[in-house]
Amino acid sequence: MSTPRPGAGAAPTTARTVVIGGGAAGLEFLTRLARQRPHGRGRQGLVLVDRALAHVWKPRLHEIATAMQNQSAAESSFLAHANAHGYRFEIGALRSIDPSAHEVHLDALTGPDGRELLPPRTIGYGQLVLALGSEENDFGTPGAREHCLFLNTPAQAMQIREALLARAFRLARGQQEALSIAIVGGGATGVELAAEIRDAMDALWQHEPGLERDRVRLTVIEGADRLLAANPPEVSEYAQASLSRRGVAMALAERVVAVDANGLALASGRRVDAELKIWTAGIRGPRVLEDSPELPRSASGRVRVDERLQCDGVPRVHAIGDCAEWIDPASQRPAPYTAQIASAQARYLARAFALRMAGYEPPPFRFKTAGAIVSLGEPGAAGNLTTRFGRRSRDRFIQGMSAQLIYAALYRRHEFEVHGWPRAMARWLAERLSRSYEPAIKLH
């Protein structure tokens, strides 16, 4: 319960709140905060900074990477969203943060030809919210950075798309005998990507009969003894059986120790040859935070936050989403880095800001998982739903199309959060209509 805190130094309505990062956490927080404030001057102090011009919900990156989804259709323009919600959008990449001066410093913005479009800039803040997301973590594996593709941003998804389609067309037209693909990491991202690649190759086969399924060899490499090790065993079993039926090979309890141009060496001495190597095995905090030593960071490079999502010992600075390390008091372990908890933190922090504006101290942040669902492409999805009755909780295993419907509903919920019901429904209808005339695989 919130407790009164009259005159506790709450920022005035016109104080500038700056959000760095327009991912799921940052955009949902900013949207809620804008809706809480009146039109006009109350919103002029809201600023979003992002290096991209549009938002893409991260769990959809595997669809973009396999050309099963147009990037433009999955995007939400920051400029349009800012205009609709009355905040200011500033394109740019963070360089450093100066907590003592309450300032953030942005790098110069350059065009494709290297010319400077905007100079380095400095933005002052009254309250700062870091929602920078995460970066890929190759754990220092020799050759990984040089020879692997990664799937953590829309730009990286497009790199995979181009590499995958180019090789698929070469295979279909008889320019090469086979296409071997290795995915490092059997978590949700790796499993979803493997399933989506199979769907994409089947869809492309409709146009290119020379693209025979058995000539596309796909292997998932996972260090644990099962896929989806963070999920209940029955979810892992269902996912492994689904991928096996579709010709996906699995190397379980295997750790990659080196990568070269032709494949991957495993700790067991085994080798997996692969022309296309995609690394999804881990994420870490943004390296740009290393240039702001005043911010407390964990061993994984994330900003350490307290029970109210404030940076430890750094006033006026908060962090949410994948860039924040929040310790769950129930488990005494860092919370998982998922879209579900990012959304929960965004909702909490927007309410905490409102309570402080009213002179109340917000309660500590708490998180109770609703379960997790993993998309497996055409066959559906699998996961567990957590239901609660008082202090009791129960996990229920779900699979197939019912799980797929719930998975799709999670994305629609995110759309409703950031666009509101009218615009979200319009986007849903547009997507449904496009499916009636567009091919399954998007080659444009």
- From residue 121, give the alpha-carbon distance in Å to each of 111, 133, 231, 253, 340: 16, 21, 44, 48, 33
Among the listed ranges 193-202, 267-276, 325-334, 378-387, which one has the minimum average pLDDT value?
A: 378-387
pLDDT at 5: 42
Average pLDDT over residues 276-297: 94
Query: Considering the domain boundaries, does residue 428 fall inside one?
Result: no
Query: Considering the domain boundaries, does residue 408 fall inside one?
Result: no
d(CA 289, CA 266): 32
Same domain, 65 and 95: yes
d(CA 302, CA 109): 25
pLDDT at 390: 58
| Tokens found for residue 429 | 């209808």
Q: Which residue has the tokens 């996990």?
A: 395
Beta pairing class for 149-150 and 324-325: unpaired
pLDDT at 211: 86
Domain that holds residue 196: 144-281
d(CA 359, CA 352): 11
Same domain, 166 and 193: yes
Chosen domain end from 361, 377, 408: 361
Same domain, 35 and 111: yes
Query: Considering the domain boundaries, does residue 406 fall inside one?
Result: no
Query: Considering the domain boundaries, does residue 77 fall inside one?
Result: yes
d(CA 81, CA 85): 6
Same domain, 258 and 172: yes
Q: Quick check: 13 pLDDT over 60? A: no
For every residue of 185-242, DSSP letters joined together read: --SHHHHHHHHHHHHHHHHHHTT-TT--GGGEEEEEEESSSSSSTTS-HHHHHHHHHH
Same domain, 298 and 232: no
Q: Quick check: 182 pLDDT over 80? A: yes
Same domain, 129 and 40: yes
Angle between helices 339-357 and 24-36 (to 10 degrees): 30
| Tokens found for residue 34 | 């804008």
Cα angle value 395/399/402 (rounded, 5°): 100
d(CA 352, CA 362): 5
Write the CATH number for 61: 3.50.50.60
Greater model confidence, 307 or 432: 307
Q: Quick check: 14 pLDDT over 70? A: no
Q: Are 30 and 20 in contact (CB under 8 A)?
A: no
Q: Which residue has the tokens 């360089």?
A: 95
| Tokens found for residue 298 | 């964990």
How many structural domains compose the chain? 2
Query: Considering the domain boundaries, does residue 429 fall inside one?
Result: no
Contacts 24+ apart (CB under 8 A), 6-10: 6/359, 7/359, 8/356, 8/359, 8/361, 10/356, 10/357, 10/358, 10/359
Give residue-wise pLDDT tens across range 377-392: 877 898 888 766 656 6
H helical segments located in 230-334: 233-245
Same domain, 303 and 215: no
Query: Considering the domain boundaries, does residue 348 fall inside one?
Result: yes
H helical segments located in 246-315: none
Sign of dihedral through CA atoms 225, 228, 229, 231?
negative
Query: Considering the domain boundaries, does residue 397 fall inside one?
Result: no
pLDDT at 72: 86
Same domain, 89 and 124: yes
b or e along 283-305 (b: 16 or more beta carbons within 10 Å of the residue's beta carbon)?
bbbbebbeebeebbbeeebbbbb
Same domain, 261 and 216: yes
Among the listed ranges 36-40, 76-80, 333-337, 354-358, which one has the minimum average pLDDT value?
A: 36-40
DSSP strands (E only) in 119-168: 121-124, 127-130, 135-136, 149-150
d(CA 134, CA 334): 15
Same domain, 241 and 337: no
Q: Record the pTM.
A: 0.90
